[in-house]
Chains A and B, each alone.
Chain A
Amino acid sequence: MIPNAMTSTGPYAGLWSHLKSIDHTIERIVLVDSSQKLSELDKDRLMALQKFLKGGIEIDLTSKNPFEALLSYKISAEPEYSSAIDLRSRINDIPEFNNFLKKAKKGYDEKIKRLIDFIDNYLKDAKEPELFQKKDEKEEFVVLRSIIHSLLSDAEFAMRC
């Protein structure tokens, strides 16, 4: 047995693939200097990242129909990873995220909202967005990428355990 070989099954393999494909899209945007257009898959991955940052399911604990509320979030082809990861404590440890908007003294919620809005605008602004569209927007992508990288290394470790 070669213990480091890639694991393709198990609960963390799906999480790893999910994060890695998001990372690939950001990499294409940040690193590839080309006029290639964002594909449908790229857009989907950015939306998946947005969903991930939002923390997934928002549920009112005093609701009379909690199971129904849960059902309304279900999308058959999409995994639901939000409640397994304590995103706040995990992301706060990442230096790039810590330094992000430091001068403006923004807290976790504001920073996350800024990143979510940033993705939203990136997808919305340009009807036909091109890779590496606005150079001054690069910082947000770098922060996003460092978040994904940290979560990816956690998933990779868990996948092999």
Chain B
Amino acid sequence: MDFSKDETKAISSKCLSLIARTIKILNRIDESNFPTLTTKDAVSLLQKALKWLENPSNLESIDPVVLYNRLFAMQKFVEIVEDSSSDRISWPLVSYCDDIWKKLFPGGESKIFYSITSQHNYFISPYSDGLAIAMNGLMPLSEIKNITDNNIYCLQLASTEDANLQLYANIGHEFGHAIFYNREKELIQSLDSNFTNLMHNISSDVSSKDAANAVRIMIRILYVINKIATELFCDLVGIRLMGPAFFLSFYELSWGQDNSVWNIMLSPDNNMISAYPSFHFRLDCLFTFGDIDNFCNDAKKDFTTEKCLSSDVLAGCLMTIPRDHTSDKIAVYPRDDQYGPTIESTLTKHLTDIKKALIAFLKEADKLMFSWYPNVIISKLDTAGIAKLLLRLNHDIPPNIIPDTSLLGIPASFQAVLNASALYRINLLVNKEGKNVSDLAHCMGKLERLTAKSFEVTYIQQKYIEWENNRRGGNSK
């Protein structure tokens, strides 16, 4: 044995054993615990990729060192499917979300499965495309396309907040990413039409600063603005799918941060550049496009009529969320990037015009959303119904029924339960005077259980109604 020659052989063997071990792990995952069936598709995607890599004839032209590196990188895809378990994910809630997803992608052109993340955030990632990128350099592009042909997304939920169902409103934003990707052509056209003049001004500016690298810098600026517009579009989707509960949950995610910074993270791979507008600007856009003003006015009347708890304060609390973005600033990272300072100073100079163009883009995108999904998006929530659900929560009754003159009442919609619970929860958090830690924990726990029960009951009820309608129509499935 001579490692000056045999190291490659040893690496190859270790790769093969890693592949075998990973396949074994995938085979051992308990499918009965998957929150939805799509996790199975993700597992089978991984299995197919690993089986291909295991084939000795395919291994011949692969660099063992690259394979070694990529196999470790692929472990995150394995962890995601391992964490896709209903032990930690509220199945009624993700089932509701899954129903919304199926209305957004009725042809099954894109699928989604649910997992968790230890970070305090919610992520959607293109699972199949991500795996395709991880396989770059290992497989021919034609084979990558063949294996990852089934477009699968993964939505990762914040594991530390798994009982905080109201915060799941952020799922609406995450769905926006998949919509943007699927409707990219139309949205990019709108972006172009709203940014034409501004991009000319930015381009002249960049050329005067660094003529030799102007094209390279402009390409990165285009990627940055595209990412920023995507985030704002996703916020729009969030408020249109979930209502003001998204505004509240988004605000909650901003706690403890500098909310006036537009954070831009450059990357050697342009596709991996990330860019986020400031929380203040995003909250202001949400306030406008979510029609929060009118929601609060309607809520004030209805909450008072129903004599809800803190009716005057609760209805108006959304109006007080900070959203002044006049002192916003741009920060480009990493600090040592060669073109970072030029990108930062250029975007800072044009920030006011960028904001205007983004708002114009959002107006067009909102109209497009209404034309694409007239039956999925919310234009106005029934505040009288929410008032009745708040009253039930106040009496420790699950907010699953909106009482009316009939005996059974009206089953509450997913959005009505979500919004009522979100408002009730924020009231508990803010008005904790006179409560000790155990009182507060007790109240929060009770709210979590009442909300979870309502989601479960209303979901089953909705499925029963669908089944009943099908049965009457002659379809016994």
A residues apposed to B, CB below 8 Å: 6, 8-9, 11-18, 20-25, 28, 36, 39-45, 57-59, 61-62, 64-68, 70-71, 74-86, 155, 158
Residues in B neighbouring A45, C-beta threshold 8 A = 137
Q: Say whether, besides A28-B61, A79-B271, A81-B268, A59 and B137 are in contact (CB < 8 Å).
A: no
State which of B140, B184, B214, B266 has its C-beta within 8 Å of the C-beta of A40.
B140
Asked whether B288 is an interface residue with its Cβ less than 8 Å from the other chain, the reply is no
User: Is B268's CB under 8 angstroms from A41's CB?
Assistant: no
Is the Cβ of B184 less than 8 Å from the Cβ of A71? yes
Chain B residues near A78 (CB-CB < 8 A): 133, 136, 141
Q: Are B63 and A21 in contact (CB under 8 A)?
A: yes
Task: Flag if A20 contacts B215 (CB, 8 Å).
Answer: no
Q: Is there contact, CB below 8 Å, between A13 and B63?
A: no
Q: Are A77 and B69 touching (Cβ within 8 A)?
A: no
On chain B, the residues within 8 Å of A21 by CB distance are 62-63, 66, 136-138
Which stretch, B167-175, B186-194, B456-464, touches the partner chain A?
Answer: B186-194
Closest to B64 in A: A24
Take A66-B222, A84-B270 as given contacts and tell me if A77 and B135 are in contact as well, using a CB distance cutoff of 8 Å: yes
- Residue in A closest to B272 when the chains form the complex, CB atoms: A11
Given known pairs A21-B138, A71-B184, the reply for A13 and B73 (CB within 8 Å) is yes
In the bound complex, CA of A23 to CA of B62 (Å): 11
Chain A positions within 8 Å of B188 at CB level: 67-68, 71
Q: Which residues 56-78 in B have Cβ within 8 Å of A in the complex?
A: 60-63, 65-66, 68-70, 72-73, 75-76
Number of chain B residues whose Cβ lies closer than 8 Å to a Cβ of chain A: 61
Q: Is the CB of B136 within 8 A of A68?
A: no
Query: Which residues from chain B contact A36 at a C-beta distance below 8 Å?
Result: 60
Measured between alpha carbons, how far is A42 from B136 in the docked complex, in Å? Answer: 12
Bitwise, B245-272 to A at CB < 8 A (1) or not (0) is 0000000000000000000001111111
CA–CA, A12 and B145, complex, Å: 23
| Alpha-carbon separation in the docked complex, A70 to B273 (Å) | 14
Closest to A131 in B: B61
Q: Which residues of A contact B192 (CB under 8 A)?
A: 64-68
B200 within 8 A of A: yes
Nearest-neighbor residue (CB-CB) of A78 within chain B: B136
Residues of B contacting A16 in the complex (Cβ-Cβ under 8 angstroms) = 69
Q: List 19 A-B contacts (CB under 8 A).
A: A8-B69, A8-B70, A17-B73, A18-B137, A20-B65, A23-B63, A40-B143, A42-B61, A45-B137, A59-B222, A61-B214, A67-B191, A67-B222, A68-B189, A71-B188, A75-B141, A77-B144, A80-B271, A155-B268
Instruction: List, in ascending order, chain A residues with CB within 8 A of B68's CB.
Output: 6
The reply to whether the CB of B142 lies closer than 8 angstroms to some CB of chain A is: yes
Chain B proximity of A14: nearest CB distance (Å): 6
From residue A105, how far is it (CB to closest CB) to chain B in Å? Answer: 23
Known A9-B73, A14-B136; judge A77-B148 contact (CB<8 A): yes
Q: Find out whether the CB atom of A77 lies under 8 angstroms from the CB atom of B145.
A: yes
Residues of B within 8 A of A85 (CB): 268
**Residues B223 and A70 in contact, CB atoms below 8 Å apart:** yes
- Asked if B216 and A83 make an inter-chain contact with CB atoms under 8 angstroms apart, the answer reads yes
Chain B, residue nearest A14 (CB): B269
Q: Is the CB of B65 within 8 A of A12?
A: no
Contact A62 B200, beta carbon cutoff 8 Å: yes
B60 neighbours in A (Cβ, 8 Å): 36, 39
Nearest CB in chain A: distance from B159 CB, A: 19
Q: Does B55 sit at the interface, judged by CB under 8 A?
A: no
Q: A13-B69, A28-B61, A155-B268 are in contact. List 11 more A-B contacts (CB 8 A).
A: A14-B133, A14-B272, A24-B66, A45-B137, A59-B222, A67-B225, A71-B184, A77-B133, A77-B144, A80-B269, A82-B270
Task: Give the docked Cα–Cα distance between A76 and B182 (Å).
Answer: 13
For residue B196, CB closer than 8 A to chain A, the reply is yes
Q: Does B185 contact A (CB under 8 A)?
A: yes
Closest to B217 in A: A83
Of all chain A residues, the one with the shortest Cβ separation from B144 is A77
Query: Please, which residues of chain A bring their CB within 8 A of the CB of B69?
Result: 6, 8, 13, 16-17, 20
Q: Which residue of A lies closest to B191 (CB)?
A: A67
Inter-chain contacts of B189 with A (CB < 8 A): 65, 68
Instruction: Kindly state the separation between the CA atoms of A83 and B223 in the bound complex, as whole angstroms.
Output: 11
Instruction: Write the nearest CB–CB distance from B200 to chain A, whole angstroms.
Output: 7
Task: Please indicate the chain B residues that have their CB under 8 angstroms from the CB of A82 in the complex.
Answer: 216, 219, 270
Whether the Cβ atoms of B195 and A77 lie closer than 8 Å is no
- Contact, CB under 8 Å: B195 / A61: no
Asked if residues A84 and B269 are in contact (CB atoms below 8 Å), the reply is: yes
Taken together as a complex, chains A and B put the C-alpha atoms of A25 and B216 apart, in Å, by: 28
Nearest to A88 among chain B residues (CB) is B212
> In the complex, which residues 24-83 of chain B have their Cβ closer than 8 Å to any Cβ of chain A?
60-63, 65-66, 68-70, 72-73, 75-76
Residues of A within 8 A of B185 (CB): 71
Closest CB in chain B relative to A143 CB, distance in Å = 20
